[in-house]
Amino acid sequence: MVNRYWNHFFSRGLVEPEDDLRVSNPPANPELLDALAADFIASGFDLKHLVRTICTSQAYGLSSLPNEFNQGDRQNFARFYPRRLPAEVLLDAIDVVTGTTEPFNGLPRGFRATQLPDEGFDSYFLEVFGRPKRESVCECERTAEANLSQRLHLLNSGDIESKLLNSSGRISKLVEDQRPDAEKVEELYRLCFGRVPSGDEREVCLAHLAKRRAESKLRLGFEDLVWTLMNSKEFMFNK
């Protein structure tokens, strides 16, 4: 359990693959694995305590940007390894940014992908982004590997386009909003990245919106902006 949770937060287990625990496949850091296991047992198998321990660790707080000392590291956790958001989390994040909800057959409107009880709800998005089919108990069924189908789906699928064009979604509200464009751009950056845009980013976004406004295509300008932010690595990856 400790190794699975470590893999969840670091995209790589102390033992890798995460369920392949055997003598001939030793952990990258045996002392750390033993210490986490002992602490987990001492806490009464408290999963919240385990999550708190991992997420407040120095290792989890390391930058994902490599330096001259850890550039080649792939297993010792000398830096944070970027990992793509899980399929359900990514779909919910897109819904939040676009102000839309994904429909799931048999469930009330507004039900989130992360609330789905099992894999019995059809969703091409979740399948293409690696949702496990739960045909076995192995955590390795879930995949975070990138592929061409994922990129094409985000770039030009009808599902994503419909969220951008939704008449009651966030883009429609931004077009009608009387606030300055700079405030709207900042709102989108906070939603997508949890930060304000840099000076250069703000300048590029405002210039594009101004261009579209002059062409009487302001809505298209916001669609371009939201689409671009959602397709960025910063949006799709924990870094």
Per residue in 118-129, pLDDT (tens digit) is 777 888 888 888
Q: What is the pLDDT of residues 12-62, one digit of tens each?
A: 889 888 888 888 889 889 999 999 999 999 999 999 999 999 999 998 888
Which residues, at least 6 apart from 42, have a Cβ–Cβ distance to it below 8 Å? none
Domain positions in the chain: 2-81, 84-239
Angstrom distance (rounded) from CA 190 to CA 212: 22
**What single DSSP character describes residue 82?**
P
Dihedral (CA of 54, 58, 197, 158) sign:
negative
Residue 140 pLDDT level (bands cut at 50, 70, 90): low
DSSP 25: B
Identify residue 235 by its one-letter amino acid code. F
Q: Outline where DSSP puts E strands in the chain.
A: 83-84, 237-238
State both tokens at 231.
């397709």
Neighbours of 58 (CB within 10 A): 7
